[in-house]
Structures are given as structure tokens and as C-alpha cells.
Structure 1
Amino acid sequence: MTSIVDAPAAVQTAVRPPAPRRRRVQKTWPLVLLLLGPSAVLIVLFIVLPAVYGIWLSLTNTQLTGFAARNPQFIGIDNYTYLLASADFLNSLGQTGTFLLFSAIIGQTVCGMIAAVLLSRPWIRGKGFFGAALLMPMVVPEVVASLTWASVLATSPEGTLNRLTGVFGGEPTAWLQTAPMLAIILVNIWRGLAFAMIMFQAALEDVPAELIEAARVDGASAVQVFRHVTLPLIRGPVFLYLLLTTISTVGVFGLVYFLTRGGPGGQTRIAAIYIYERALQFSQIGIGSAASIILLVIVIVLGVVYVRLAKVEV
């Protein structure tokens, strides 16, 4: 029987955490630092420090040539006020929004979802062939894809699309001149369709079959099952994909530059091309950095909206 005098000692013994567990935690810290330390160092060197340096450059009049190249001066938010009052920059943001909306948010998402739903149906034949055909654009380098599509959309009668329309009596058309934005939208959809299909197909496989069968027993149509059962269950992966495709599409440069170089008449001068022109062609590093920071802020705001809509805790 435990005496009253020994009771506090027993209570202290019960409350005190076991020493072996504390020693185990202390022993794992070196391993954690060894495994995560190199990644943390690389993130700081190649992401955090360049971002901080880019913010600093955006507050200066740094240039690649001229007097400001030797003695850059701190000018505060003058670059930002210039950009927000510049019709060219605001037009590039509008072109970026159009390109993002129709090629990524609508085009890749809708087409990728349709492809994932069709390939998940057991009655579809030739899934391997269609799946491989959709995955091929994903492994093609951006420059190669751009040059290939430039050949397809070439103005001359030897262009692939002009040859195809010529079979039906059509005249050769300068597709990159008459419909430049539509052209780069379709090419970007072609490039990103595979990634959308992979993400959505993985999400559809996690939907419980019992819920779908129960909805069908209750008389729901295929469209109603997808809208009211499947889509709410894969909301998280859908908005995760929207976040990833927004980041990648806003940063698209080579695909558009090799096809149209931002033309004709600035109709496809998206923000990435505007930043390239200002920073490298016109040597205005400060203005180019400020435009990059503004674009980064817009992407961060869109990311927060996606996270809120997906109801994902981060």
C-alpha cells in the first residue's frame, strides 16, 4: 500500500516524461539537419536570396548600359508608379489574363477533366494508345514544341495547317497574324493537357465507388453524379492543379516568344515578354524587376483565392 508521504513522489514520477523518448528526439535532430539541411541551403541560395535581390533592384534605377549601370540609385516606388500608369504594361497584364483564363483555367482544366473521365471508363477501347498520345506533348521540350507549331502554322502554302485546309479548297492563311492569341492558347492547351489528365485521373480513382453506385440507385444521371458527388470530392486536387497551372502559365515565355515574339502589334505581348523586353532588350533592370514583383503579387493573390476555395488548410 502506498503511503501518503510517498504519494507526491509517485505523482511526480507519473508526470515526468520518460527519459528515453527525450533522448530519442535529441538523437534524431542531427539526422533531420543532415537530410533537410542541403535542401534548405539550396532554397535560400536560389529562391529566397534572388527574390530579395529582385525586390531591391525594383527599388532602384539599375540598367545594363548608361550612367545608371555604374552608379544605380535608390528611387523608391518610382518604378511601380511608372508601370501602373503605363498602358503597355497594363495591356500586357490583360493579355496575360486572357492567355491564363482560356488556355489554363478553362482549356487545360476542362479538356484534362474530360480526358481523365473518359480514360477511367471501362468501356473505352485503346486506352493505352490515347493515353500515350496525350502524354507525348509533356515530354517535348518547349523550344522544340514552339518550332514544331511554327511549322504547322506557317504562312506559306507548305505549312501543315495550310496544306490541310488546301485539301478542302481553302486559301493559305497567316494563322499567327490573323489569330495569334487563339494560336498560342491552343498550343498551350496541347502542352498542358497531359499534366491535367494525370492529376485528375489520380483524383478520380480515390472517389469511393459506393457513393457513385448509391447516387445511381437514387436515379441520378451521369452528369448529376459528376456534379454533385464526384466534383465535390475532388475539389482539393482540382484547385491544387489550378494553382500549379496558374504559376506555370504566367511564367510561359519561350512558347509565345518563338511563335509570335509578342506580336503582331502587341496582341500576344504577355507579361513575361514585356519583362524580357524591358530588362534585356531595353536594359532597364529596375523596371523589369518591378514588373516581375507585381506579377508575383498577382500570382500570390490568386493562390490564396484557390486555397480558400478549396478549403485547404496550409
Structure 2
Amino acid sequence: MTARSSIASQGRGHRPRGLLPLLLGPSVLLIAVFVIAPAGYSVYLSLTNTRLLGFGARDPKFVGLENFRYLLGSGDFLESLGHTGVFVLGSAIVGQTVLGMAAALLLGRKWMRGKGLFGAAVLLPMVVPEVVASLTWASVLSQRGDGTLNRMLGLVGEGPVAALQSAPMLCLVIVNIWRGIAFAMIMFQAALEDIPNELIEAARIDGASAPQVFRHITLPLIRGPVFLYLLLTTITTVGVFGLVYFLTQGGPGTSTQLTSIYIYQRAFEYSQIGLGSAASVILLAILLILGLTYVRLAKVDV
């Protein structure tokens, strides 16, 4: 018996040399080429006065932290960070999370009718290309009389409204919630299905109400997936560009100028590649801090 155990343990412990590098090599290579290298090049550009056109394009100079000093003292850049924070908080952290959780809970109820139709309606916005979704909503919210929203208002005797001019940030928040609620629903539904039914039934037998069950049993058990979703949705929402560009282009004025729009304008409209790269590095640093905060709050080991 001892000999067999020894042979079995030796068999389990024996692995072909070089197998681990062979398995991890492609993934490491992809990360190095498509993540680390571009990030490193952005850091390099942020320390120069590189431009798309002119002297800075032919002979860029090293300027150190000058781009960062300019940005941290720039009202436009700081304002764009504030707009990005409002957009992320309203559409992703609050809107998509709350409504996605509500949709997942509804789909988990036995009395819920038409689950297939409801799920399809929620999932549809996720599969629509961003450009198509943006142009569709631009038509819906158009201030002209032929806009879908104004046509509906006309049916009830109300005058036309210019939603994208009077409440542009609210419009962007609503559209982004519509776009992202499906991903939240999918993640939360998968997490809810992993909760043992015995725990829920035991709590109900003990007299716990539905809100109490959700607060004291459901929510603590899905804490990890919730914070993982918050991390992912924060990263993706900070990087939203096409939706904002097609609907408002950062306007009216700078009222919806997110940091992604600011970076694009500085880098490509004003040809200030170095300044745009510095702004992206600052944004990356903020995302890293938020990511570490989420991981710490979720009590997930890294």
C-alpha cells in the first residue's frame, strides 16, 4: 500500500519540463503586445511634446512632467473628470447595477410570466452595435418635430422638447443604462443561481421577509460577483466614446465632455499627442486605484 502511494504521488508530481511556459506563453505574449507595450508607449509619449503635425511631429522633445502639470491645473480637464464621474456613477454604478439586479431577481421568480420575452428585450440592446444604437437614440431624442420623442409628445398635446440640449447628461446616462443593463443581469443571474435554495427556504420558514432575505443572505453571498461587475462596468463606462460622440460630441459647450472625449480632442483635433497621452495615463492611474479599492471592499485575494 505504501509503495503504491509512493508511486502514485510520484506520478502526480511529475510534469513535463517546459509545459507551463508553453501553456502560458501565448497569453503572456498577447498581454505584452496589446496591453503592456501600448501602455508603456503612452507613458513615454506623455513625457514628450509629440504632435501629429508641425515641429513636435518631426522632432519631439522630452518635457518631463510638464504635460501632467498643465492637465492638473487645467479647468477643462478637471471638469471632464467630474463629468466622467457623474456619468459612471449615474449610469453604471447605480443605474445598471440596480436595474440589472432587479431584472435578475425577476427572472428568478417562479411566478414570473414571459421570462423569455423579458430576457430577450433586456438582452437586445447589448447586441446592437454602438454606432447603430447612438444613431437610433439621436433620432429618438431629436429636437425637430420628426423626432420619435417629440412625435409621442405631440400625440398628447405637448410641445417639442430639445432633450439633448436641455438635459444632455441625463440623456447619456439613460442611454448607457439601456445599453449595459443586460451584462449586469447576466452576471447577477449566474451569481444568484449559485446560492443554495436551502438557505433561502430556511430564512423564509424563520419568518424573514423578502427584503431581509436579500439583505442578510443573498447580497453577502454574491458580494464577490457584485464587486467584480462594478470593476468591469467602471472600466468600460470610463472608456465610452462612440455613444457620447455621436449624441452630443461633448456638448452643448463642454457639459458632456467626458475624459475620453477630452483625450480624443487633444490628441487628434488639436494634434497634441503628448498631452492626450498624459491625460490617458492619469485616467489609467485613477482606474487602477478604483480597481484596488473594489478588490479590497470585496475582500478578494490577489
Q: Same fold (TM over 0.5)?
A: yes
Q: After the TM superposition, which of the residue ranges 109-118 and 206-215 deviates more from structure 2?
A: 206-215
SS at match of 1:155: coil
For residue 258 of structure 1, what is the amino acid of its counterpart? F
Among residues 147, 153, 172, which one is paired with 1:184 in the alignment? 172
Which of 100, 110, 116 is the equivalent residue of 1:128?
A: 116
Q: Which moved more, 1:107-116 or 1:60-69?
A: 60-69
- In 2, Cα distance between equivalents of 1:21 and 1:277: 58
Going from structure 1 to structure 2, the CA distance change for 1:21 and 1:128 (only over 3 Å counts) comes to closer
**Greater Cα offset, 158-167 or 103-112:** 158-167
Question: Following superposition of structure 1 onto structure 2, how do residues 194-213 of structure 1 map, counting pairs within 5 Å?
Answer: 194-213=182-201
Equivalent in the alignment of 2:127: 139
Q: What is the Cα deviation at residue 67 of structure 1? A: 1.0
Equivalent of 1:63 in 45, 51, 60: 51
Return the alpha-carbon distance in structure 1 between the equivalents of residues 161 and 52 of structure 2: 40
Q: Computing the radius of gyration over CA atoms, which structure comes out larger, 1 or 2?
A: 1
For 1:146 and 1:286, how far apart are their aligned partners in 2? 30
Q: Does 1:83 align with 2:84?
A: no
* TM-score relative to the length of structure 2: 0.95
* Cα drift, residue 31 of structure 1: 3.7
25, 28, 32: which one pairs with 1:37? Answer: 25
* Partners of 1:169 and 1:21 in 2: CA distance: 77
CA distance 1:240–1:19, shift in 2 (3 Å): closer
Match of 2:290 in 1: 302
Deviations 1:251-301 (CA, angstroms, capped at 9, x unpaired)? 000000000000001110000000000000000000000000000011111
CA distance in 2, matches of 1:138, 1:124: 23
TM superposition shift of 1:39:
2.2
Partner of 1:104: 92
1:127-164 Cα offsets, whole Å, 9 max, x none, are 00000010001111111110011011111111111111
- In 2, Cα distance between equivalents of 1:124 and 1:165: 32
Aligned to 1:237: 225
Deviates further, 290-299 or 31-40: 31-40
- List 4+ stretches of structure 1 deviating above 6 A: none
**Counterpart for residue 73 of structure 1:** 61
CA shift at 1:126, angstroms?
0.2
Mapped partners of 2:237, 2:189: distance in 1: 21
Q: Report deviation, 1:213.
A: 1.3
Superposition RMSD in Å: 1.7
Deviations 1:110-133 (A, max 9, x none): 000000001100000000000001
Where in structure 2 are there 5+ consecutive unaligned residues? Answer: none
Structure 2: how far apart are the matches of 1:42 and 1:299? 21
Structure 2 counterpart of 1:79, one-letter code: N
- Equivalent in the alignment of 2:205: 217
Counterparts of 2:172 and 2:219 in 1: how far apart (Å)?
A: 29
Does the residue aligned with 1:122 lie in a helix, a strand or coil? coil
The letter for the 1-side match of 2:210 is: A
Return the TM-score normalized by structure 1.
0.92
Q: How many residues align?
A: 298
The percent identity for this pair of structures is: 67
How far is 1:19 from its partner? 6.2
For the pair 1:50 / 2:38, whether they are aligned, the reply is yes
